Amino acid sequence: MPPGPKARGGSCSPTISPRSSTQVIEVGDLNGSEVDLDKEEASMTVRAEEFKRQGNAAQGNAAYAARDFAAAAAAYGAAIALRGGGARGAVYRANRAAAHAAAGDWAAAARDARCAVAHDASYVKGHYRLAQALLEEGGDADSAAAIAAAAAGLVVDPLCRELHMLMRRALDRASAQHQQQQQQAQRAASRSPPKAARQRDAAPPLPPPPPPSPPRPPSSPAAARSDDALLRMLCAGVDGAGHGLDGVFAQLLQKDAFQRIVFPGLSEEQRKWAPQTFRALLQDPAYSGGLKDAARKAQARAASVLEGVKKRGREGGEDMDAATDAALRPQILQEAFAREVVAMVREVHARAHAAAAEDPAQHASPDQDEATWDQLTLPAVEGLARMSGKAGGVAVVDGYLGGEWPKLVAGDCRRMLAAGRLGAGGGAEAMAWVEPAELAQAYPALHELVIALHALPFELNAKAPALALARALPGSTMVSRLPRGGDVGRRLDSVISGQRTGFKGQLQHESADRGCVEGAGSAAVAAFKITAIYFVGEDEWLPGMGGEVRLMHQAVVEPRKSAAADGDGGGDDSAPTVVEPRPDRLLLFRSEGVWNERAAVEAEDMWTVVFWLHGAAGSCCAEERAAETAATAG
């Protein structure tokens, strides 16, 4: 093993940190470097794979248009083989489901559509393809499953016209099947033989009963307004695990999937203290305070979705009867409740971190030895502390570890993956929460990197006291793997002004422009102050490999949300800062005021180690923005 990274300032501390000879890259220079011919030649393989993937998709589209559905399915399958994960993988699977459907193979279409939904639960077309395939397969259970699939899609997009039409067809089919069953039962009863004959000659067994329906909402207005009654009804539905519906609710009922969705990335030891099942979470006192609020939000969401379904029906000249309403409402309500519970867990953990950051005992004292390690130059700290201008709030340090350490860290990451330590995160991301103590023996290079990252708050407090950062808190460091085809939508990492975003590893169903969503309560919470991303790798990054991080100030992003096109509001200050994911590069940006997103990975999997630095509420970021606004107005 090579000698450790250079110790800071001649310190005799046994804790080893990265070398001090770091090079700070000015943000303005990050995008303009020229690529020589050697690099262009080296990137040809990557580009060839990209062209091949695009060619397969184009061949699939052309074959579908020519009604050669078998060839279309094969071409989409080839594209899936090259890039099977993430949002694009969901698109290719939905396209192949369409090809199977056009060929009349509804079972294959349903399989692909289920995979599309599993890869990207926010992809509405995946829900549509699944509902369509299930409906066309026929049968009582398929009609019920089609209704559930359409309902899950409408929770994502209540205005999707195609899903409303499918929902209406599925409801009509289910109603007709119910009437037919009643007529058959009446005819059988009229032909029923005497009791003795029935005892001697047992009738053939009846078809298995349909899955038990979820409990109906309370019927009286008083009970409907009662939070306790609503929560009891939703919790009781958790025990009705036999309905087999697709969606987040159904996944949370599966013990092996529950922790993966709600608590992704935990180690085996950490999973022991986390709730093991959905039922256990609902009974855990740590989350009881947010459950009623989650139930209220779910009820409002379900009412909105159901009203949309009824409105579409009225436009077609049909009114939803009470029986259909009673059957459909619990399914939509439970799906909305499951999504709100996942968000509530993120909220509880974010608030716990915020409370810990307020504790004076957690302050990263500038008098500690770690403050002298000099990992960041003064210009880098000043750029990070300053929020004004396009380059404000961002710092990039190249050669962070140096020497052979990047290669060793990459090897530790691969061994962690092989050991099954990583779990599913948001979208295509795989991740694991890590702590220094658990890394020391099994993953020594990762341990050194995390120790160095955890020293940053001390140094930053010494050089920029206004940041008021806390020492590293448990659950703030993550190893992440983004596979080929995977990307990360736009989000704001911090929790500010009564609004929140979820932890990075948690399931995300919000769109890119809704990454910051309304949270419980009105108190401002400031948990994440600075996001630090270390790019893992041992080979040179080349243009075309993808995975770039795009950064944009909140003041620029907010007006762009209402623009008709994403390119509106042009100008140098509105263009994102693009940071290339070069190995051994450390990127730091202000979590409170800088939005971030990750471009799709076009080559091999990309690894990062992310450390979120916490701080006390009301520190400099909000004050800086107010001062900048006043200066601009003046």
pLDDT for position 604: 84
List the domain boundaries for the chain. 49-178, 369-633
Q: Give the pairing of strands 549-553 and 423-424.
A: unpaired
Mean pLDDT of all residues belonging to the chain: 72
Q: Cα dihedral angle (216, 221, 223, 228), rounded to 10 degrees?
A: 100
Euclidean distance between CA atoms 350 and 359, whole angstroms: 15
If you average pLDDT over residues 545-565, what whole number do you get?
65
If you average pLDDT over residues 72-80, what whole number do you get?
86
Query: pLDDT exceeding 70 applies to what percent of the chain?
Result: 64
Euclidean distance between CA atoms 514 and 502, whole angstroms: 11
If you average pLDDT over residues 459-479, what whole number do you get?
90
Single out the residue of 344, 346, 339, 336 nearest to residue 264, CA to CA.
346
Nearest-Å Rg of the Cα atoms of the chain is 27
- pLDDT surpassing 90 at residue 398: yes
Single out the residue of 215, 281, 206, 275 nearest to residue 243, CA to CA.
215
- pLDDT surpassing 60 at residue 177: yes
- pLDDT surpassing 80 at residue 97: yes
Single out the residue of 384, 429, 401, 273 nearest to residue 615, CA to CA.
384
Report pLDDT digits (tens) over 515-552: 333 333 333 344 668 999 999 998 889 988 999 999 98
DSSP string, 443-504: -HHHHHHHHHHHTHHHHHHHH-GGG-BBPPPTT-EEEEEE-TT--EEEE--S-BTTEE---T
Sign of CA dihedral 179, 181, 182, 183: positive
Question: E strands, 227-298, where?
Answer: none
* The two domains 49-178 and 369-633 share their CATH topology (first three levels equal): no
Q: Could you tell me which CATH class the domain 369-633 is placed in?
A: mainly beta
Confidence grade of residue 10 (pLDDT, cut at 50, 70, 90): very low
pLDDT for position 528: 67
Would you tell me how many other CB atoms lie within 10 Å of the CB of residue 398?
A: 15
Confidence grade of residue 163 (pLDDT, cut at 50, 70, 90): confident
Report pLDDT digits (tens) over 16-25: 344 333 333 3
Euclidean distance between CA atoms 115 and 118, whole angstroms: 5
pLDDT for position 92: 85
Report pLDDT digits (tens) over 248-261: 777 777 777 777 77
Confidence grade of residue 231 (pLDDT, cut at 50, 70, 90): low
Query: pLDDT exceeding 90 applies to what percent of the chain?
Result: 17
Lowest mean pLDDT among 45-59, 124-138, 352-366: 45-59
Burial class (CB in 10 A: 0-12, 13-18, 19+), 228: exposed
1-10, 77-86, 309-318: which is most confident: 309-318
pLDDT for position 296: 83
Lowest mean pLDDT among 266-275, 355-364, 380-389: 266-275
Lowest mean pLDDT among 88-97, 188-197, 217-226: 217-226
Largest CA distance in the chain: 100
Q: Rounded to 5 degrees, what are φ and ψ at 217?
A: -65, 160
User: Which residues is 553 bridged to in the sheet?
Assistant: 594
- pLDDT surpassing 50 at residue 175: yes
Structure-model confidence comparison of residues 1 and 380, the more confident one: 380
Confidence grade of residue 44 (pLDDT, cut at 50, 70, 90): low
Q: Cα dihedral angle (308, 310, 316, 319), rounded to 10 degrees?
A: -170
User: Which residues is 606 bridged to in the sheet?
Assistant: 482
State both tokens at 526.
């400031």
Euclidean distance between CA atoms 200 and 136, whole angstroms: 40
pLDDT for position 188: 67
Structure-model confidence comparison of residues 270 and 615, the more confident one: 615
pLDDT for position 287: 79
Burial class (CB in 10 A: 0-12, 13-18, 19+), 284: middle
Q: Which amino acid is at 56?
A: N
Tell me 400's DSSP state.
Answer: S
Tell me 615's DSSP state.
Answer: B
State both tokens at 469.
């950062």
Burial class (CB in 10 A: 0-12, 13-18, 19+), 622: middle
Q: Cα dihedral angle (66, 69, 71, 73), rounded to 10 degrees?
A: 130
Confidence grade of residue 391 (pLDDT, cut at 50, 70, 90): low
pLDDT for position 13: 33
86-95, 170-179, 494-503, 613-622: which is most confident: 86-95
Residues 6+ apart with CB under 8 A from 619: 466, 467, 468, 526, 529
Structure-model confidence comparison of residues 511 and 628, the more confident one: 628
Would you tell me how many other CB atoms lie within 10 Å of the CB of residue 538?
A: 13
pLDDT for position 219: 42
Single out the residue of 433, 428, 457 nearest to residue 446, CA to CA.
433
117-131, 229-243, 312-326: which is most confident: 117-131
Single out the residue of 380, 386, 372, 413 nearest to residue 399, CA to CA.
380
Q: Cα dihedral angle (294, 300, 301, 303), rounded to 10 degrees?
A: 140
Q: Which amino acid is at 3?
A: P
Euclidean distance between CA atoms 459 and 165, whole angstroms: 59
Euclidean distance between CA atoms 423 and 262, whole angstroms: 11
If you average pLDDT over residues 428-449, what whole number do you get?
89
Which CATH number is 49-178's, of 1.25.40.10, 3.40.50.720, 3.30.1240.10, 3.40.228.10?
Answer: 1.25.40.10
Confidence grade of residue 220 (pLDDT, cut at 50, 70, 90): very low
Euclidean distance between CA atoms 217 and 414, whole angstroms: 49
pLDDT for position 52: 65
pLDDT for position 385: 84
Report pLDDT digits (tens) over 292-336: 788 888 888 888 888 888 887 777 777 777 777 777 788 788 888
Task: With residue 342 as reference, give the H or E element that holds it.
Answer: helix 322-358
Q: Give the pairing of strands 430-433 and 549-553.
A: unpaired
Confidence grade of residue 574 (pLDDT, cut at 50, 70, 90): low
Q: Is 135 helix (H, G, I), strand (E, B) or coil?
A: helix
- pLDDT surpassing 60 at residue 35: no
